[in-house]
A and B are shown apart, each in its own frame.
Chain A
């Protein structure tokens, strides 16, 4: 928990990943979004297929580093829609975030406690204190379990000039929506939007 900003909303319940994803786009309409492979990208594509969405089709464990690189290149807000399994693959990135600390980066971890995209196998989310790990690495972090608490936490994070992490407990979902399959098309769209070429 960030000392100045306690916003734990209890131990019960799980938020809706679609509603929370939409809230990010409402609060920061110009946000550059990097989404984890699988469910996080499927949900984002379903909420709004935007030019500022960099969906991953692979590179599990490399989602947050990609958001870090974007945050170092643009002044606009950058959000990472990270998976709990993907973050568990690369917890070391939190040390890098703590050291580099770009002011415009927010990492949202969808904690569904499973490898959702591959069929819902359990991961080690239950025994891992993501907030504790992040804060030990120098990244202020918050845990939420409802749509309202998520929106409040996200808004507060974007109002502060530092990198923050929001762990959002979510109900598992299995969306039908998909980002474009053409990976090079996705990158071209993002690059043209952000760098004009």
Chain B
């Protein structure tokens, strides 16, 4: 199974139905897979913090959701995380492609992307980096369990060792 099939499997097993997203290159195939599957409803947002609102509102109404975006997009959500998700304890699963580390060519991705685990820790948003493609299934399921049982957001960071990366300097 590809990491994409595994992620879809994990989302289904944990009853996640609503996907709020803003694409990047490497997460696009996963977004498309959710769009091709009747198990999911997808909402394209224009700024990632709106996705936090959409997923929070959906959970209040009884539906589980996931945010699919890039680490720079997750940086766009910080006030929503800090002043909505964390203090109100509103859960969602984040599946986020992490830029800024192995294979990164773009310095603009480094400050937020490389430091994302620490930044999330500072906000008290638990997070976990997935380095091996074969772990994706399992980690999606465990992260969703962590999020929805404790009613807090949980972010999975997909490393370039899972998703691949753009080779610009060759």
Contact = CB atoms under 8 A, between A and B. Distances in A.
A189 to B, nearest CB: 10
Contact of B87 (A34, A54, A57): A57
Interface residues of B, number: 33
Given A59-B80, A60-B79, A186-B88, A65 B59 contact: no
A194 B60 contact: yes
Contacts of A56: 84
Nearest to A196: B62
B169 to A, nearest CB: 34
Interface string B17-54: 01010000000000000000000010111110111111
Interface in A44-79: 54, 56-74
B74 interface: no
A195 B59 CA distance: 9
B50 A96 contact: yes
Contacts of A54: 57, 60
A96 B20 CA distance: 11
Given A58-B83, A62-B52, A90-B47, A73 B90 contact: no
A62 B60 contact: no
Contacts of B41: 72
Contacts of A183: 87-89
B128 interface: no
A59 B84 contact: yes
Contacts of B63: 72-73
Main secondary structure of the interface of B (DSSP, over half): helix
Contact of A69 (B46, B47, B49, B53): B53
A99 interface: yes
B100 interface: no
Contacts of B52: 59, 62, 65
Contacts of A191: 59-60, 62
Given A184-B88, A187-B90, A74 B44 contact: no
A146 to B, nearest CB: 30
A183 B79 CA distance: 15
Interface in B57-73: 57-63, 65
Nearest to B84: A59
Interface string A67-103: 1111111100000000000000010110110011000
Contacts of A90: 47, 49-50
B143 interface: no
B89 A184 contact: yes
B141 to A, nearest CB: 21
A187 B89 contact: yes
A73 B62 contact: yes
A69 B84 contact: no
Interface in B82-129: 82-84, 87-90
Contacts of A73: 18, 57-63
Interface of A: 32, 34, 54, 56-74, 90, 92-93, 95-96, 99-100, 183-184, 186-187, 190-191, 194-197
Closest 6 CB pairs of A and B: A58-B83, A69-B57, A73-B61, A65-B53, A195-B62, A92-B46
